[in-house]
Amino acid sequence: MNPAQETARWYVAESSAGDAARSVRLGCITAPTRRLALRWLRRQARRFADALDPDPYASWVPGRALHPVTGGPGLVGCAPPTGGGRHPVTAARHPSAGARPDAPAELRAWADSFREHDYALLRLADGLPYEFVARDALAWYGLVVRPLGR
């Protein structure tokens, strides 16, 4: 048997959200490669972030419908990877912002983090799942990708 065929594997990527009472599946895709599955999750993360906290200057937002808020939490960076199946990227915030969770900022940081994607690709190459969860005061948003069994 060809070694490339032996290691061929499909991946499922899922997005979901919820609160303390319920959870909702927001989307799912089956992809032939881990990179395609992860690419879909990155688009989902950006879509969620834009829906939760749209850019006031985006072309689809009507004029004067939104305005920038000063003094909000500023994203400083991402935490290094930790072990285990769950691997949340924790956004470090400016001290003046307090410890308010900011799910849109965490989703954007995750979508733009090459370090996180390399970590996810390595986990998937080892046959392990990868999960990212962003939280805010009232809800959570989860992104999961896992290899499918043969």
Average confidence (pLDDT) over 81-110 = 58
pLDDT confidence of residue 60 = 73
pTM of the complete model = 0.69
Contact 69, 102 (CB under 8 A): no
Average confidence (pLDDT) over 134-149 = 91
Q: 116 phi and psi, to 5 degrees?
A: -65, -40
- Residue 144 to residues 30, 32, 60, 118, 147: CA-CA distances in angstroms? 12, 16, 29, 15, 10
Average confidence (pLDDT) over 109-125 = 95
Task: Annotate 97-121 with three-state secondary structure.
Answer: HCCCCCHHHHHHHHHHCHHHHHHHH
Q: Does the structure show a pLDDT above 90 at 62?
A: no
* Six token digits for residue 16: 């979901």
Average confidence (pLDDT) over 6-14 = 80
Question: What is the Cβ-side half-sphere exposure of residue 147, based on CA atoms within 13 angstroms?
Answer: 16
